[in-house]
């Protein structure tokens, strides 16, 4: 498990909304609530921890971006996100401020 965590840590990055648009268009972006640790979510998905992932989805802590979110981000294209690439998905977490 620690190897997976180390591997995923290398995939952590930051991105502007503009850079994420192509991934949204292919329905690959998953928004992760700021309450969750992006790396923990990535490890859970990559290691098939279905019950944890399903619980986060049920609690609306993970979801595809809503039309409202995308509208807000489109009006501020320099909006920045923490990102974790986990093929075929890109997990994103809105950065504060």
Which DSSP string do the residues of 3-64 spell out, in sequence order?
Answer: HHHHHHHTTEEEEEHHHHHHHHHTT-EEEE-TTS-HHHHHHHHHTT-HHHHHHHHHTTSEEP
Residue 2, pLDDT score = 65
Write out the two tokens for 39: 């790396």
Q: Which residues of the chain have pLDDT under 50?
A: none
Residue 97, pLDDT score = 64
Question: In whole angstroms, what is the distance from residue 85 CA to residue 17 CA?
Answer: 15
- Is pTM beyond 0.85 here? yes
Question: In whole angstroms, what is the distance from residue 11 CA to residue 59 CA?
Answer: 26
Which of 92, 38, 86, 89 is CA-nearest to residue 70?
92
Residue 77, pLDDT score = 80
Write out the two tokens for 17: 């909304």
Write out the two tokens for 64: 């595809």
Would you call 38 helix, strand, or coil by DSSP? helix
Residue 51, pLDDT score = 97
């Amino acid at each position: 498990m620690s190897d997976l965590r180390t591997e995923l840590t290398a995939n952590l990055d930051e991105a502007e909304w503009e850079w994420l648009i192509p991934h949204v268009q292919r329905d690959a972006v998953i928004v992760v609530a700021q309450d969750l640790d992006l790396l923990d979510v990535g490890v859970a998905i990559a290691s098939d921890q279905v019950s944890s992932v399903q619980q986060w989805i049920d609690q609306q802590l993970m979801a595809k971006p809503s039309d409202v979110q995308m509208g807000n981000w489109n009006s501020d294209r320099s909006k920045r996100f923490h990102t974790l690439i986990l093929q075929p998905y890109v997990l994103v977490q809105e950065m504060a401020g």
